[in-house]
Amino acid sequence: MATHQYLGGQPDEALDRVDGRQKVTGAAKYSVDDILPGLTYAVLVESTIAKGHIKKIDTKKAQSAPGVLAIIYHGNAPAIPGYETGGNPAKPPTGGEPFRVFQNTQIYFAGQPIAIVIADTYERAIYAATLVETEYNKDDQRTDIEGNKDKAVVPKGPRYADYIRGEADAYKNSVIKIEAEYIIPVEVHNPMELHATTAFWDGEDKVTVFDKTQGVKSTQRSIMDAFKLKEQNVQVNTDFVGGGFGSGLRTWPHVIAAVLAAKKINKPVKLVLTRPQMFTMVGYRPYSWQKISLGATRDGVLTGLTHEAISETSTYEEFTDRTVDISKVMYACPNVNTRYKIVALDKSTPTWMRGPGEATGAYALECAIDELSYAVNLDPLELRIRNHADVDPVRNLPWSSKYLKECYQKGAEAIGWNKRNPKPNSMQEGEWQLGYGMGAGNFNANRGRATVKATLLADGSLVLQSAVSDSGPGTATTMTSIASNVFGLSPGKITFELGDSSLPPGPTQGGSTTTSTLGSAVHDVCVALQQKMAELVTIQGSLLQGAKPENLHFEKGYITLKTDASKKVAYADVVKQTGSSQLEVTKDSQAGDERNKYSIYSFAVHFVQVQVHRLTGVVRIKKVVTVADAGKIINEKTAASQLMGGVVSGIGMALMEDAVMDHRFGRYVNNNLADYHVPVSADVPDIKALFIDKPDPFINPIGSKGLGEIANVGFAAAVANAVYHATGKRIRTLPITPDKLLR
Amino acid sequence: MINFDYVRVSTIKAAVDAIVKDNNSLWLAGGTNLVDLMKKGVMTPQKLVDINNLPLKEIKKEGNKLIIGALALNSTVADNELVRKEQPLLALAVQAGASAQLRNMATVGGNMMQRTRCPYFYNTDMPCNKREPGTGCGALKGFNRMHAIFTDTEKCIAVHPSDMSVGLVALDATVLLSGPRGDRRIPFQNFHRLPGNLPQKDNTLERGELIVAVEIPENKLNKHVHYLKVRDRTSYAFALVSAAVAVDLEGSTIKDIRLALGGVAHKPWRLTEVENFLKGKAATEVNYKQAAALAIRGAKGFGLNNFKLKLAPNTLVEALKTATGKS
């Protein structure tokens, strides 16, 4: 369990991170660290072919290598009861069955774990793993989506059926037509911390696991299901997460492998994936081909929008994301239709990666909108305003709140949009061509379910607990801010505990929902605790006896009478009054029916200024302004960090990220951080992260919508559009690298 | 990683003896590349002879020559006052390489000895004539975006990844060696080699020959210099193409000039013919463009690296313009 307490003084506005000191001093323990004494170390052996069967695995040499404790593979793997009964240990995204580790000889993808070697040191385990000899019956693999698009199918389930509003393919009959195809290659989350799992068993039916996960409760559930264990007998801990970006949303086969290995040798086992394994074992943003067709009047009013997408999945599971959904809701267009298909390839299953389908879809849509702006000779900002969706065009419901136009205005001012000469390739600075671009996006602002326990201690301090994990945004800090404001207590007296599956159930951290979901539960539990305190101070013989609860005021650790501030009772005294050492309230909190009345979305716009070198094709991002309508901003510092982080991942997406597979082998050729490029500090310019900061009146009691995803949705398009403005070259395949600009 | 022996030596003689005696041994300096290669199973020495204690770290002036010890750190070279004043092109080239952390570990000799970053060389399950002669070149019909446009064979189209070496080859450096048969000097230009029939051989060192120092003759090429490295991100990325330029200008006439390209061949690519073309000519963009066209005569793309046929001359022109202030 990670205990987070604010250590600073009373802040003016935004709290510093409650875990900042632990993180910068090295006190924070991550799953990848050696957490327990007496560890043994496991290393996964991977398939070197992409399709076929294992003919033979010879472990003799490896087994006799120094320090080796055990080797598990399909030939000797202990039973995993949940696998055998058709259970579903790692809940698949939509269809198919998750890959079951060490259960049979079939090879689905290169880099598939086929054996696990456990030794007394990591070095010995990794050496022994090189001695495992495998023979295969190899089949020809299919890993390239290009050339296999004819095998694309519509995913199962009504959600993926073709969508039609008004007339299909109406763009064909429009005065102005834009048709363009866009490609995003495979992108890999590559958080700095490698995925890691440490497991140890206490007897036959009780296991403790330290895992890098974005959801401690979902990992607990997966392990319970796989090994048929009771909830109280599976303990999952995730104190700190060194980045996830979606890779920690599922319980992957390596987690089950580590738990299995610990069971086999009955000692604590630590498994850390290698960087190349991060490319094949914990998901990726799937390669996507998209086509956007737009029809419009000469005034730039949209008359038809068709969005088609083909994406990839594995042969054993259907992975889908909402690639085409953004085109349904982003603009007011009477005729919209979408087609979404997936191709099964001999690769591992993709997963959600920051901004998932929306970021993928917004890249294509927002580039196409930009292309349309030139076709109708209109400022791209004005074009977007002309087609602004005043209501949700899919459900025909009012937005709960929408300040996208305000975002446009604020961002345009901050970047100096009016300095932009609308003509492409018109703004030179020596050999550098200057360009401005924009891209917008939205993301469904959800609220899930969470339980928080609040304990008021005899010294007047407050402890809050929930089984959420914090993959980086600063969850405990945000929750401390909310509790401080709602409960009326200095943040220094509040502790937030998380990352422990035995705590009251918290949500998985994904889909930009943690603040909305957990923050609402924190709000609700603080209010409930105040109600309980109100009962106590008004009933029993206290100074406030007889006062009506609604006349009480909670601030800075004291309850006072609204009408008479001199009558006050310290929170600590309320606890003492009960005769016990603490006062506890647990509250379960979830959304009501507001979603039936309103469409609830977050919105953002990104403005970028780029320079492109005419001779070398190098793109430099000089300035970024991102403005978000994410409802009430709880903590400006952590929120700005979220936006900046999203922008940095957007810079990667726009300019460098590209997991290259050699399809002759079905294997990645740049599966390391030297060759798979993510932005370095020198690539990241001044980023202005701005907020509208107006509470959403309907989503939840705190007025906050989601932020993590919209920080990336639409960003890559803004860069691509700026590059077009700078050069007159439309690059429709990401990333925009020098070679593409020189063609 | 496979187990290996480790010894430390403190004299050149001991270093040479240790290697000569044991055929499957290698010297270890900064280790920034070798340790990676050992982790990947690409190189599997049974013994490492740590030479970091050898007295080869000095950077000094001897007569009209600048001598840089083989164990001087890349970061030390880039920051050294003598280097910056007399051979600024070298400082710029070193600075463009790797990351600050790597430059703090990597040595001059090690930088020259680093292996290609071709992905097929690094992956022991894929074909590579450099790693395993006779298995074929994975890059030839594969992912060859980073690869050579100048080569004498299709057996290997890898490039040498060093930036420092591009600067050194331009500056007419000499490599000082010490080996079992005594000392030897070779022009830097002859140190690295084209793959030919022996793609496994990166350079012309004999077994047991240790790089002791590099020597750069004095020149008047320290006023107009530029090292332009075009890469996929601003730092910590290998060159798509790089250009080293040092010019001695008299008014606007090019009196003397040194040019080399990186990221285009199995060795740092000196452009002597282009230098001769520009000598005595005016420092103008028109002349630079003609020179650049000359520079890629005989170049050939293999698919994904075709863009280098355009990027290489463009990079040269841009570097020339920057060096001579004609941009």
- Summarize pLDDT for A37-76 with one digit per residue, the tens: 999 999 999 999 999 999 999 999 999 999 999 999 999 9
Asked if A662's CB is within 8 angstroms of B126's CB, the reply is yes
Pairing of the two strands B174-179 and B182-187: antiparallel
Interface test with B, best of A615, A656, A673, A740 (most B CBs within 10 A): A615
User: What's residue A238's pLDDT?
Assistant: 97
Chosen domain end from B52, B76, B91: B52
Asked if residue B260 is part of any domain, the answer here is yes
Q: CA of A129, closest CA in chain B: separation in Å?
A: 10
Contacts of B1 in chain A (CB under 8 A): 123, 126-127
User: What's residue A540's pLDDT?
Assistant: 62
d(CA A232, CA A10) in angstroms, rounded, equals 39
d(CA B185, CA B175) in angstroms, rounded, equals 6
Scan residues 79-138 of B and list those with Cβ closer than 8 Å to A. Answer: 99, 117, 119-120, 123, 125-126, 138
Asked if residue B258 is part of any domain, the answer here is yes
Is the pLDDT at A87 greater than 80? The verdict is no
Report the CATH number at residue B12.
Answer: 3.30.43.10
Q: CA of B123, closest CA in chain A: separation in Å?
A: 8
- Nearest chain B alpha carbon to A661: B143
Q: Are A407 and A628 in contact (CB under 8 A)?
A: yes
Asked if residue B268 is part of any domain, the answer here is yes
Query: What is the extent of the structural domain holding B279?
Result: 224-324
Asked if A618's CB is within 8 angstroms of B233's CB, the reply is no
Interface test with B, best of A133, A616, A743 (most B CBs within 10 A): A616
Which of A616, A656, A667 is facing B230, going by the closest CB pair?
A: A616
Which domains does chain A carry? 2-31+447-590 (3.30.365.10), 34-140+192-243+248-279 (3.90.1170.50), 288-446+596-741 (3.30.365.10)
Asked if A742's CB is within 8 angstroms of B314's CB, the reply is yes
Considering only CA atoms, which of B100, B93, B58, B55 is closest in space to residue B75? B100
User: What's residue B127's pLDDT?
Assistant: 97
Torsion sign, CA atoms B169, B24, B152, B183: positive
Torsion sign, CA atoms B9, B200, A672, A259: negative
Asked if A616's CB is within 8 angstroms of B142's CB, the reply is no
- Which residue blocks in B104-214 are alpha helix, DSSP H? 108-113, 119-122, 164-170
Which of B143, B307, B314 is facing A660, going by the closest CB pair?
A: B143
Q: Are A98 and A316 in contact (CB under 8 A)?
A: yes
Residue type for B25, please? S
| Parts of chain B with a pLDDT under 50 | none
Which of B3, B126, B314 is facing A616, going by the closest CB pair?
A: B314
Q: A453 — phi, psi (to 5°)?
A: -105, 130
Asked if B311's CB is within 8 angstroms of A130's CB, the reply is no
- Nearest chain A alpha carbon to B117: A675
Residue type for A285, please? R
Report the CATH number at residue B233.
Answer: 3.30.390.50
- Nearest chain A alpha carbon to B3: A127
Asked if residue B125 is part of any domain, the answer here is no
Q: Are A110 and A666 in contact (CB under 8 A)?
A: yes
Q: Which residues, 6 or more positions from B222, have their beta carbon under 8 angstroms from its beta carbon?
A: B85, B86, B87, B88, B89, B246
Considering only CA atoms, which of A597, A581, A609, A556 is closest in space to residue A412? A609
Q: Which residues, 6 or more positions from A697, have their beta carbon under 8 angstroms from its beta carbon?
A: A400, A401, A703
Is the pLDDT at A615 greater than 90? The verdict is yes
Q: Mean of the pLDDT values across residues A319-330?
A: 96
At how many degrees (to 10) do helices A715-727 and A356-375 cross?
A: 30
Residue B246 forms beta bridges with which residues? B225, B258
Its pTM surpasses 0.90: yes
Q: Are A343 and A143 in contact (CB under 8 A)?
A: no
User: What's residue A95's pLDDT?
Assistant: 76
- Nearest chain A alpha carbon to B237: A674
Q: A21 — phi, psi (to 5°)?
A: -65, -45
Asked if B119's CB is within 8 angstroms of A738's CB, the reply is no
Asked if A618's CB is within 8 angstroms of B307's CB, the reply is no
Pairing of the two strands B25-28 and A686-691: unpaired
Q: CA of A231, closest CA in chain B: separation in Å?
A: 40
d(CA A618, CA B233) in angstroms, rounded, equals 9
Q: CA of B303, closest CA in chain A: separation in Å?
A: 12
Is the pLDDT at A10 greater than 90? The verdict is no
Q: What is the domain count for chain B? A: 2
d(CA A266, CA A271) in angstroms, rounded, equals 15
Task: Supply A311's token pair.
Answer: 């994406």
- Nearest chain A alpha carbon to B127: A665
d(CA B251, CA A615) in angstroms, rounded, equals 26
Is the pLDDT at A697 greater than 90? The verdict is yes
Question: Where residue A8 falls among pLDDT bands split at 50, 70, 90?
Answer: low
DSSP string, A339-390: EEEEEEESS------SSHHHHHHHHHHHHHHHHHHHHTT--HHHHHHHTB-S
Asked if residue B302 is part of any domain, the answer here is yes
Interface test with B, best of A43, A673, A739 (most B CBs within 10 A): A739
The verdict on B297 touching A (C-beta cutoff 8 Å) is: no
Dump pLDDT digits (tens) for A554-598: 999 999 999 988 889 999 999 998 889 999 999 999 999 999 999
pLDDT more than 90, % of chain A? 92
Interface test with B, best of A662, A671, A678 (most B CBs within 10 A): A662
Dump pLDDT digits (tens) for A517-545: 999 999 999 999 999 999 999 876 777 88
Q: Mean of the pLDDT values across residues A379-385?
A: 98
Q: Mean of the pLDDT values across residues A211-223?
A: 97
Is the pLDDT at A275 greater than 90? The verdict is yes
Asked if A430's CB is within 8 angstroms of B145's CB, the reply is no
User: What's residue A577's pLDDT?
Assistant: 87
- Nearest chain A alpha carbon to B123: A669
Is the pLDDT at A138 greater than 80? The verdict is yes
Asked if A123 is an active-site residue, the reply is no
Q: Are A489 and A533 in contact (CB under 8 A)?
A: no
Contacts of B235 in chain A (CB under 8 A): 680-683
Which of B126, B232, B318 is facing A665, going by the closest CB pair?
A: B126
Q: ipTM exceeding 0.90?
A: yes
- Nearest chain A alpha carbon to B33: A674
Torsion sign, CA atoms B253, B258, B261, B262: negative
User: What's residue A646's pLDDT?
Assistant: 97
The verdict on B232 touching A (C-beta cutoff 8 Å) is: yes
The verdict on B235 touching A (C-beta cutoff 8 Å) is: yes
Contacts of A660 in chain B (CB under 8 A): 143
Question: Where residue A9 falls among pLDDT bands split at 50, 70, 90?
Answer: low
Question: Where residue A97 falls among pLDDT bands split at 50, 70, 90?
Answer: confident
Which of A130, A620, A679 is facing B41, going by the closest CB pair?
A: A130
Residue B267, number of CB atoms within 10 A of its CB: 26
User: What's residue A4's pLDDT?
Assistant: 77
CB pairs under 8 A between A and B: 88
pLDDT more than 70, % of chain A? 97
Asked if residue B178 is part of any domain, the answer here is no
Q: CA of A656, closest CA in chain B: separation in Å?
A: 7
Considering only CA atoms, which of B244, B109, B113 is closest in space to residue B167? B244
The verdict on B325 touching A (C-beta cutoff 8 Å) is: no
Would you call A257 helix, strand, or coil by DSSP? helix
d(CA A702, CA A663) in angstroms, rounded, equals 50
CA atoms within 13 A on the CB side of A260: 29
Q: Are A172 and A295 in contact (CB under 8 A)?
A: yes
Residue A401 vs residues A60, A339, A390, A417: alpha-carbon distances, Å: 65, 29, 10, 26
